[in-house]
Amino acid sequence: MIRMTISTLIFLLSAAFLLGEELYVPPLLEGTVMEMTMMKGELSLSFGKSPTMGFNGDYLGPTIRVDNGDAFDIRIENRLGEDSTVHWHGLHVPAEFDGGPHQIIGKDRTWNPRFTIDQKAATLWYHPHLMGKTAEHVYKGLAGMFIIEDSYSRNLDIPADYGVNDFPIILQDRRINRDGSFRYSPSMSDYMHGYVGNIVLTNGAINPTLKTDGGTYRFRILNGSNSTIFRIRFSGGRDFTVIASDGGFLPRSLETDSLIISPGERYEILVDLAAGSKTEMLTDLYGGDSHKSLTIETGPSRGEYYDHPSSFSHSPAIADRDRVEKRTFIMETRGMGGFTINGKTMSVDRIDFRLKKNSTEIWTIENRGMGMMNIPHSFHVHDVQFSVLSVNGQRPGPLYSGPKDTVLLWPGDRIEIALRFEDYTGIYMYHCHFLEHEDNGMMGQLLIE
């Protein structure tokens, strides 16, 4: 938690009144051949500016939308003046186009990944993954959503009109100075506990306003922060319905009044808003403060309301524990020694284990603290969506019943997941998605043969 001086507190109180900016909805990028440029930019807030990075603009990037079965072909030009990468987080993708530390896009170079989309409807995202620089590049704004639709999702009777009743919500906490800048300069404590901000940006703005009619709305929420865990809720304790997690729809939806979401995770929710009302989306920072992240003002008109589905089509979890390879991953915080998985820090020259294509495995992940270093972690696996089998020996809760690619582990947690590695061979990453931890060694490499 950041300690606030009197001047900082005055700044935050004054910033709270700098409202009125409409919610920015990133443009859609669709088609058979797409193009993006990674570039330097400048983000203007009401009280100052900050140097940033973005895709096709100053900050963040367009929402890429494709259909299952599409031939994905995109040219990405790097005009940052330094190396970077673009990782397709949550996407089933050939290793050569994964966008991890091995697929570097040199400055002034162009990268052209091409592959067929082969997975169910889901809300994914993309961001850099350069060894040792992931946290800085994401912090400066290089991120965007990646939506997959399929015949099932397109036939559901739920909000699906992008930018009208279906909105991307990218939440990022930033440590913003009084001149509006948010340069990335972590201390040793920040590396340990995460680079926690004093302001939450929603699609690149402070508490923007969404003006619309009454009706049912779908929000695709991404925790795009570096290391901060959020609790999402609405003013007045308003209930909402969670319909999807990282890799697609839940088998059964969940009605709730709050939602915990760790860095890299996504959830889709439905919320009903009455005409002529004002509602605020609130974002509580774990170990920090509560922020208004979105103000929703509905006019007198009554828009379209939808029933909230109670169940969705979903593939069951893999249940045969006796005929699969089992592995254990111990995540440890080692103080000045960095962050390790199974006692090792990341090396791009080392393959940590090998497995066969079209194989199924069950992994056990443990967040094992060391002394006073009881710090949360998360676990993300490239290329696959997995099933959570158990959390601390118990059946997982409703939010972990759907397809996942990132899970949160509180200190002492032990989570079992089932994974199937199909179609592709090559090197993929697994790592903590607290980006300061990832950049400081909490990552490994698997080779599918």
All structural domains of the chain, each given as residue ranges with its CATH number in brackets, are 6-150 (2.60.40.420), 166-302 (2.60.40.420), 325-448 (2.60.40.420)
- Going by pLDDT thresholds of 50, 70 and 90, the confidence category of residue 374 is confident
**pLDDT for the residue 408:** 98
The whole-angstrom distance between residue 76's C-alpha and the CA centroid of its chain comes to: 21
Residue with tokens 């800085």: 136
> Taking phi first (over 0 means left), then psi (-120 to 50 degrees means alpha), and beta for anything else, what does residue 99 get?
left
Torsion sign across C-alpha atoms 380, 382, 384, 385: positive
Question: Edge-to-edge strands of the sheet including 387-391?
Answer: 339-341, 325-333, 359-368, 414-421, 387-391
Mean pLDDT of 366-391: 89
| Per-residue pLDDT at 237 exceeds 50 | yes
Q: How far apart are CA 65 and CA 176, in angstroms?
A: 31
**pLDDT for the residue 7:** 42
Q: Which helix (H) or strand (E) holds 130?
A: none
- Going by pLDDT thresholds of 50, 70 and 90, the confidence category of residue 17 is very low
| Per-residue pLDDT at 8 exceeds 50 | no
Specify the amino acid at residue 395. R
Q: How far apart are CA 16 and CA 61, in angstroms?
A: 26
- Find, among 201, 219, 357, 197, the residue nearest to 292 by Cα: 201
- Going by pLDDT thresholds of 50, 70 and 90, the confidence category of residue 319 is low
Q: How far apart are CA 93 and CA 66, in angstroms?
A: 14
Quote the mean pLDDT of the chain.
92
Q: At a CB cut-off of 8 Å and minimum separation 6, what does 185 contact?
A: none
| Phi, psi of 136, rounded to the nearest 5 degrees | -65, -45
| Phi, psi of 3, rounded to the nearest 5 degrees | -80, 130
Each residue of 335-346: pLDDT tens digit?
665 799 999 999
Q: How far apart are CA 333 and CA 273, in angstroms?
A: 44
**pLDDT for the residue 271:** 98
Whole-prediction pTM = 0.94
Each residue of 60-110: pLDDT tens digit?
999 999 999 999 999 999 999 999 999 999 999 999 999 999 999 999 999
- Find, among 423, 397, 438, the residue nearest to 191 by Cα: 438
Each residue of 201-223: pLDDT tens digit?
999 999 999 999 999 999 999 99
- Going by pLDDT thresholds of 50, 70 and 90, the confidence category of residue 372 is low
* In contact, 24 and 208? CB cutoff 8 Å: yes
